[in-house]
Amino acid sequence: MIQKFTVSRDDSIYQAWPDVALTKSGKLVCVFSECTHHGNRDYTKIVTVSSNDRGRTWTPKQAVTEGTKGLPYYYNCARITALKDGRLCIIVDKCPSGAEDKKAQFTENLLYFSKDEGKTWSKPVLTPLRGIVPDKLLELENGRWIIAAHHPEDGYLTQFMHYSDDQGKTWSDRITVGKKKGMNLCEVSILPIDDKKLVAFMRENSSQGWDCMKTISKNGGKSWGRVIKFPLPACHRPVAGYLQSGKIMITHRFMQGGKGWIGSWTQNLFAAITDKDSAIATQRKDSWARILPIDFDRSSKSDTGYSGWVQFPDGEIYIVNYIVDDALVKAQIRGYSLREEDFLLKND
């Protein structure tokens, strides 16, 4: 059974776009944005909260960045990674004020590091990555770091990445992950199959309710293949990772498209499980997924579906998500506890 918990609710401010990391000591650290509203970024701040009881209770908010009221930029969508060396790393896009579609290509992406499980954070480290809504910093088994974001190119949203083989001291040139005329490819989640083969799951942002799209790299991210449909209909902001069973889990917003925006489009957070063969299949018909509804936003101002998740050593899965729901107007951060058995009965 899915259990729900309040991660952070503050009715004075809009809280959205969370991610979560699990430290070596078993502590959860959740990062998210404060802002005036989804559609108004005249004030933003990136903050964290933490939990030492598996997400049942959470600390007060701690600032990672400055507030941006009156400044010519805003912070957008932060992600967090627990690195192999024990550090935490937050990546966040720092956007020039103004329309995203006109300034996304100028948006800087910054890294913040913590050596003490999120108690303190370093000064920001500028990367060469430009674009919005970055994927979390991906650390491959061979030590390679990958960072990715998107911005418009040739009239359509296009997904890009850089890699580093020296922990961010130097970075590769920009690499195109996903680009196709007629498609708006964005909000990537890159999943390693092994050190050479990677799969990039992407949102298609034409508001048509289209499938999740993916591309495949066979050389550690240096180049990427054609765009392939993956059977997650109306998928926004996929977040892919491995469960202890070896299955792949992908949390995502279900966005049906049609007329509307907040209140009409964004009511559902889903989670899907699939497998490696499906991830690397070159045709939609050769992939499968079991899709589980996680939460529904009942507010007339509904806004939900950007998420992050981890799995504890005993198998418990913990998801964080933003949702308006009973907060009515201002979005809150909510947590969910579940297990793989919630997707499929254990003895079935």
Two structure tokens written together for 273: 């499980």
Residue 158 CA to residue 184 CA, distance in Å, equals 7
pLDDT tens-place string over residues 239-267: 999 999 999 999 999 999 888 888 888 99
Q: What H or E segment, with its residue span, contains residue 58?
A: none
Handedness of CA 162, 163, 167, 171 (dihedral sign): negative
**Higher pLDDT, residue 263 or 21:** 21
Domain containing 206 equals 3-340
> What proportion of the chain, given as a percentage, has pLDDT over 90?
93
Domain membership flag for residue 348: no
Question: According to the model, what pLDDT value does residue 346 have?
Answer: 81
**Model confidence, pTM:** 0.97
Domain membership flag for residue 347: no
Tokens 């995502």 map to which residue? 252
Residue 42 CA to residue 36 CA, distance in Å, equals 7
Domain membership flag for residue 54: yes
Statement: residue 99 has pLDDT above 80:
no
Looking at every residue in the chain, the average pLDDT score rounds to 96
Number of domains in the chain: 1
Domain membership flag for residue 346: no
Segment 102-122 mean pLDDT:
96
Residue 8 CA to residue 59 CA, distance in Å, equals 9
Question: According to the model, what pLDDT value does residue 330 have?
Answer: 96
pLDDT tens-place string over residues 160-178: 999 999 999 999 999 999 9
Question: According to the model, what pLDDT value does residue 104 have?
Answer: 93
Two structure tokens written together for 40: 């108004």
Two structure tokens written together for 127: 């990367």
Q: Are 197 and 217 in contact (CB under 8 A)?
A: yes
Residue 264, domain CATH: 2.120.10.10
Domain membership flag for residue 134: yes
Domain membership flag for residue 345: no
Segment 6-16 mean pLDDT:
98
pLDDT tens-place string over residues 194-230: 879 999 999 999 999 999 999 999 999 999 999 999 9
Domain membership flag for residue 62: yes
